[in-house]
A and B are shown apart, each in its own frame.
Chain A
């Protein structure tokens, strides 16, 4: 059983479109995260939710909107996609302040 699963794994879309990435964890964790890995492979946190409450909201354009319907799910919706949004987006989960477990990543390509 996959601990942290993201869908889709690959996403190719045109500029201006809206897309969503879904994340689910079956580890019973109370905290979930979205990280962005850019072309230089640097990982930067975007959002974090603890018990469905937003606790980290980094300097991210408001075109990015996370949503946590329950503790096991954290989805990421992106409006009006731009070329610079092309990256790999990683979902992760943990007990708060504990070891993080990552999904396999969702590679977004904006044309």
Chain B
């Protein structure tokens, strides 16, 4: 069964610190992996997409890595800010046409 797992479910970090969010998936045959953020009561905003042939992608203070062989991805956020507080979702495009989501990590940045 193709599954995506995110641990921890919630994380609190003081402002200014660097942090890493984790995502693991059960099948290495993937097309791509995407990271989203969701603010309360809002839709999902795409942050980064990593193709299966890539190892990492960067956008501003965000860096996402992909290790297909171990079934893991990380999202690194540098110099965290209160505006980074949101739920971060990892989603994997498996070969069955489905973008499968993890359960998310709720991030709180403490001012």
Contacts and interface: CB of A to CB of B under 8 A. Distances in A.
A100 B42 CA distance: 15
Contact of A100 (B38, B46, B103): B46
A97 B43 contact: no
B93 A97 contact: yes
A56 B98 contact: yes
The main secondary structure of chain B at its interface with chain A is: strand
Contacts of A34: none
Contact of B97 (A40, A44, A48, A103): A48
A101 B43 CA distance: 9
B31 interface: yes
Interface string B40-72: 001111100100000000000000000000000
21 contacts: A41-B38, A41-B104, A42-B103, A43-B44, A43-B101, A44-B101, A45-B98, A48-B97, A55-B97, A56-B98, A90-B44, A92-B44, A97-B31, A97-B93, A99-B46, A100-B34, A101-B46, A102-B36, A102-B45, A102-B46, A105-B42
